[in-house]
């Protein structure tokens, strides 16, 4: 009789425990990323690219025409505009529009030139409500009056505007969903606005969702989760009445144009997230220039008696267009403190038209040029503030550069203590012209420039 205990079952059961733990933890480690990504997709579904009925997205479908901007070949240039065989040496390198002032641009391969500048450019601006301190004079009821006004905002004070993306959708009769009655077809298209937003992480279900959203963004290669909304480009009167638009004064530098307050187009929860993302504490809204009340440009722009019309702009700072010579940007980059920037992006200067071919700063004395079939009045040099200190890729502002370097050798306008880089331009078009990447640039006249503050 065998008196030894039967140990056959216990070792087998014990052997099964350890592999089970390994299998369970392995399965869990595989499921967590899947759960995170599925949750991310569900949360981001409402923020995926909008495809408005009857419209197509405007912009390049290939890599940026400035993708090779750091090549040494753009650091030099020629005073001659044409080769021996008559082809252009000076050319349009890249084109950009900025639908919302101080936000991300849209790169184009070709664009329409209007009297206001490039079509779709700087037609909108974010603004915050600024309230003055109570006046010292007491009112009849014993109170002290305060003054409130809408004031435009830019990257100068809110550098995170550089992270606000804009996408333009325009009517397309070839689209299978096209209809003249489609909402955004009637509005001449729409602007899709996207911005990064990292929600607060708290010990709650909402906090868990916020944590998953942030983690999923990291896994997906994005710095932060994205929020998105859409507005009509040129709203119809019917939509204005339906939505309850208001026409209000908005301060932009010394101007007080009457513009359309489109804040009702931004959902309240989205507006709260946008304020948080930008760092705006005051009430925030979005204005569109009233197309019946464009801002007139005087200063150094051509006079009405000279060209037959008074130059006008939307939400641009001073003039309809901004031209930048890539060789000039490379010259500035070469003078920055050694090792300060690995790459110095020309997009910091937010020009509409980037040109290659002329030597650095040749444009300082331009008075009139022709690009393609359009003629342009070179109105003045562009005085630079600290906005180019903001990195367009990150929305982070440097305390010193390039402003410090520019001040050392580019304070060149009589009457101004600001450094200059680039040129402010007025298109001399009857109604509408066209500009295309690769167009030749012809210098028609040179002249003197001077700074006019008013």
Q: Are 284 and 271 in contact (CB under 8 A)?
A: yes
Q: Is 163 helix (H, G, I), strand (E, B) or coil?
A: helix
pLDDT at residue 364, rounded to an integer: 97
For 162, counting Cβ atoms within 10 Å of its Cβ (0-12 exposed, 13-18 middle, 19+ buried), the class is buried
Number of domains forming the structure of the chain: 1
Q: Which residues of the chain have pLDDT under 70?
A: 1-49, 134-145, 200-223, 454
Q: Are 248 and 219 in contact (CB under 8 A)?
A: no
For 30, counting Cβ atoms within 10 Å of its Cβ (0-12 exposed, 13-18 middle, 19+ buried), the class is exposed
Angle at 183 between CA 177 and CA 189, to 5 degrees: 85
For 15, counting Cβ atoms within 10 Å of its Cβ (0-12 exposed, 13-18 middle, 19+ buried), the class is exposed
| Residue 331: C-alpha distances to residues 237, 328, 403, 451 (Å) | 49, 5, 14, 23
Residue 349 placed within a domain: yes
Q: CA-to-CA distance for 427 and 307, rounded, in angstroms?
A: 10
Residues 6+ apart with CB under 8 A from 175: 53, 54, 55, 56
Residue 100 placed within a domain: yes
Positive or negative, the CA dihedral 179, 184, 188, 192 is negative
Residue 23 placed within a domain: no
Q: CA-to-CA distance for 423 and 355, rounded, in angstroms?
A: 11
Q: Are 115 and 173 in contact (CB under 8 A)?
A: no
For the chain, the helix, strand and coil percentages under 3-state DSSP, each to the nearest 5: 25, 30, 45
pLDDT at residue 339, rounded to an integer: 85
Q: Which has the closest alpha carbon to 270: 219, 375, 195? A: 195
Q: Are 189 and 235 in contact (CB under 8 A)?
A: no
Measured in whole angstroms, how far is the alpha carbon of residue 184 from the centre of its chain? 21
Residue 111 placed within a domain: yes
119: containing domain:
55-132+146-446
Residue 451 placed within a domain: no
Residue 2 placed within a domain: no
Measured in whole angstroms, how far is the alpha carbon of residue 286 from the centre of its chain? 14
Q: CA-to-CA distance for 425 and 379, rounded, in angstroms?
A: 5
Residue located via tokens 């197509």: 56
Q: Is 86 helix (H, G, I), strand (E, B) or coil?
A: coil
Residue 413 placed within a domain: yes
Q: Is 22 helix (H, G, I), strand (E, B) or coil?
A: helix
Strand 312-313 and strand 295-296: the pairing is antiparallel
Residue 210 placed within a domain: yes
């Amino acid at each position: 009789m065998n008196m030894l205990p039967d140990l056959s079952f216990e070792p087998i059961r014990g052997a099964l425990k350890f592999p089970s733990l390994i299998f369970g933890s392995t399965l869990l480690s595989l499921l967590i990323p899947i759960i995170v990504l599925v949750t991310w997709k569900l949360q981001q579904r409402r923020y995926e690219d909008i495809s408005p009925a009857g419209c197509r997205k405007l912009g390049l479908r290939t890599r940026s025409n400035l993708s090779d901007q750091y090549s040494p070949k753009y650091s030099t240039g020629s005073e001659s505009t044409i080769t021996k065989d008559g082809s252009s040496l000076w050319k349009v390198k890249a084109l950009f529009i900025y639908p919302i002032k101080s936000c991300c641009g849209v790169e184009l391969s070709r664009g329409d030139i209007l009297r206001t500048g490039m079509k779709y450019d700087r037609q909108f601006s974010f603004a915050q409500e600024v309230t003055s301190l109570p006046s010292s004079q007491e009112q009849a009821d014993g109170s002290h009056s305060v003054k409130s006004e809408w004031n435009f905002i830019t990257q100068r004070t809110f550098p995170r505007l550089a992270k606000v993306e804009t996408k333009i959708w325009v009517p397309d009769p070839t689209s299978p969903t096209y209809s003249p009655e489609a909402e955004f077809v009637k509005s001449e298209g729409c602007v899709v606005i996207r911005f990064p937003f990292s929600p607060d992480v708290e010990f709650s279900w909402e906090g868990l969702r916020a944590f998953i959203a942030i983690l999923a963004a990291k896994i997906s290669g994005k710095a932060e989760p994205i929020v998105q909304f859409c507005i009509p480009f040129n709203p119809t009167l019917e939509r204005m009445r339906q939505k309850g638009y208001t026409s209000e004064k908005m301060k932009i530098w010394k101007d007080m144009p009457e513009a359309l307050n489109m804040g009702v187009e931004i959902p309240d929860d989205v507006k709260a997230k946008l304020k948080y993302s930008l760092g705006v504490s005051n009430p925030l809204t979005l204005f569109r220039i009233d197309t019946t009340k464009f801002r007139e440009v005087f200063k150094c722009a051509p006079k009405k008696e000279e060209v037959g019309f008074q130059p006008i702009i939307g939400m641009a700072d001073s003039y309809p267009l901004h031209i930048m010579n890539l060789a000039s940007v490379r010259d500035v980059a070469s003078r920055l403190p050694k090792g300060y920037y690995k790459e110095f992006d020309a997009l910091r200067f937010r020009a509409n038209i980037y040109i290659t071919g002329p030597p650095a700063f040749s444009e300082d004395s331009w008075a009139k040029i022709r690009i393609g079939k359009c003629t342009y009045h070179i109105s003045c040099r562009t005085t630079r503030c600290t906005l180019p200190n903001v990195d367009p890729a990150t929305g982070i502002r440097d305390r010193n550069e390039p402003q410090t370097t520019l001040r050392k050798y580019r304070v060149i306008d009589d009457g101004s203590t600001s450094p200059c880089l680039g040129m402010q331009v007025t298109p001399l078009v009857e109604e509408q012209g066209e500009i295309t990447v690769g167009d030749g640039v012809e210098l028609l006249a040179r002249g003197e420039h001077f700074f006019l503050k008013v």
